[in-house]
Amino acid sequence: MNAEQIMKSILLDTKKDGIQQVFFVGCGGSLAGLYPAWYLLSREAKTLRAAYYNSSEFLQATPAACGPSSLVICCSLMDTPETVEACRRARALNAQVIALVGSDNSQMVQIAPYSICYRNFDARKRDTNASETKLAWALRLAFELLWQKEGYAAYPQAMEGFEMLNDIVLAGLRYSDRRAPIFAQKAENETMIYVMGSGANNGAMYASSICNLLECMWTDSIAVNTGEYFHGPFETTDQNLAVMLMVGTGRTRALDERALRFLNRYCDNLTVIDSKTFGIDRIAPSVREYFDPLVFMPVMDIYNTALARLRGHCEQDRRYMHKVAY
């Protein structure tokens, strides 16, 4: 079943009470991949309430509202135990559940009534369509829910956006192929790198910090929302601080531009990644900001790979993950 069919089936099954809450559940990069969909519903939905949970928190502090009128979207590439159990908990509470999985053999396929097998976009090989990633599937499901439940007016523009997405991502990667080595040269010896952004890009910003830099590069990093930057974090800024600033195209672009003006004055080790340079303005303004992170995520991978190559570090190396008990 595709996203349209899945949502139609769910709304038919729940026609008495309807879907009233949507919970997005995952860990690490899988959770970050759900952020654009959550952001869309939290900004555009008029009758739905959306929440965003780490799988362990969902298990240990399960929201009281989760039940027959809820839709829970769980995401995991390799059956993260906490996410599998969160999926099981949601089913036990009679919630509708969609599992976004990395394999048809996932345990969650057996637990959830609906499942979609997504594909990770490899920014190096570029042999996967960007509309098949977890970010794209989750966002498409959110658009479908808005359309089928509330008659979301910008739905046609959103569907057009998915048609354009892969070309825009590839353009962003080609642009970044030239710029990422410059970042790598500046950041080669840095032990701390800030990643900044706002709005729909908070998830991509967070993933770039905790997945790309902390997990893959063993480099200390912090994700800072540009709106929050001036309420504490900017006090650590000096000429030598390494900063990656994601400038989006949406309504919160003003926050990013404010941070950019300040950083241009006080920081000499700044890398600006502006989604306008990727040609995303082809997508209608009414939905464009929700597609920003679907481009940023693979683009940030290019920057990480450039840094790894210069440092002679393998991005697949781990000290603890899947190696020790935790």
Tell me: do 129 and 32 sit in the same domain: yes
- Taking 70 as the pLDDT cut, the residues of the chain under it are 16-17
Q: Going by C-beta distance under 8 Å and a sequence separation of 6 or more, which residues neighbour residue 71?
A: 10, 19, 21, 22, 23, 95, 96, 97, 98, 145
Tell me: do 167 and 213 sit in the same domain: yes
pLDDT at 283: 98
Spatial strand order in the sheet of 96-101:
49-54, 21-26, 70-76, 96-101, 114-117
Tell me: do 217 and 122 sit in the same domain: no
Neighbours of 164 (CB within 10 A): 17
pLDDT at 16: 60
Instruction: Tell me whether residue 318 is in a domain.
Output: no
pLDDT at 121: 85
Tell me: do 170 and 46 sit in the same domain: no
Tell me: do 141 and 160 sit in the same domain: no
Instruction: Tell me whether residue 302 is in a domain.
Output: yes
Characterise 94 by phi-psi region: left (phi > 0), alpha (psi -120 to 50), beta (else): left
Instruction: Tell me whether residue 75 is in a domain.
Output: yes
Instruction: Tell me whether residue 319 is in a domain.
Output: no
Instruction: Tell me whether residue 160 is in a domain.
Output: yes
Report, in angstroms and rounded to the nearest whole number, the Rg of the chain calculated over CA atoms. Answer: 20
pLDDT at 43: 98
3-class DSSP state for residue 311?
helix
Domain around 127 = 3-150
Classify residue 114 by burial, with Cβ atoms within 10 Å: 0-12, 13-18, 19+.
Answer: buried
Residue 238: give its domain's CATH number: 3.40.50.10490
Instruction: Tell me whether residue 239 is in a domain.
Output: yes
Tell me: do 231 and 270 sit in the same domain: yes
Give yes or no for a contact between 290 and 39, defined as CB atoms under 8 angstroms apart.
Answer: yes
**Number of folded domains that form the chain:** 2
Instruction: Tell me whether residue 259 is in a domain.
Output: yes
Q: Last residue of some domain: 127, 150, 173?
A: 150
State the average pLDDT for the chain. Answer: 97
Give yes or no for a contact between 281 and 323, defined as CB atoms under 8 angstroms apart.
Answer: no
Structure tokens at 1: 């079943």
pTM (predicted TM-score): 0.96
Structure tokens at 319: 């000290």
pLDDT at 128: 86
pLDDT tens digits, one per residue of 190-245:
999 999 999 999 999 999 999 999 999 999 999 999 999 999 999 999 999 999 99
Characterise 183 by phi-psi region: left (phi > 0), alpha (psi -120 to 50), beta (else): alpha
Residue 238 sits at φ, ψ, to 5 deg, of -145, -175
Q: Last residue of some domain: 150, 180, 207?
A: 150
Structure tokens at 322: 């899947």
pLDDT at 124: 82
pLDDT at 125: 87
Tell me: do 144 and 161 sit in the same domain: no
Taken in order 10, 15, 16, 18, the sign of the CA dihedral is: positive
Tell me: do 164 and 231 sit in the same domain: yes
Question: Cα(211)–Cα(220) distance, rounded to whole angstroms?
Answer: 11
Tell me: do 42 and 123 sit in the same domain: yes
Tell me: do 50 and 141 sit in the same domain: yes
Instruction: Tell me whether residue 325 is in a domain.
Output: no
Tell me: do 139 and 197 sit in the same domain: no
Tell me: do 43 and 116 sit in the same domain: yes
Q: What is the dihedral of CA 295, 297, 298, 302, to 10 degrees?
A: 120
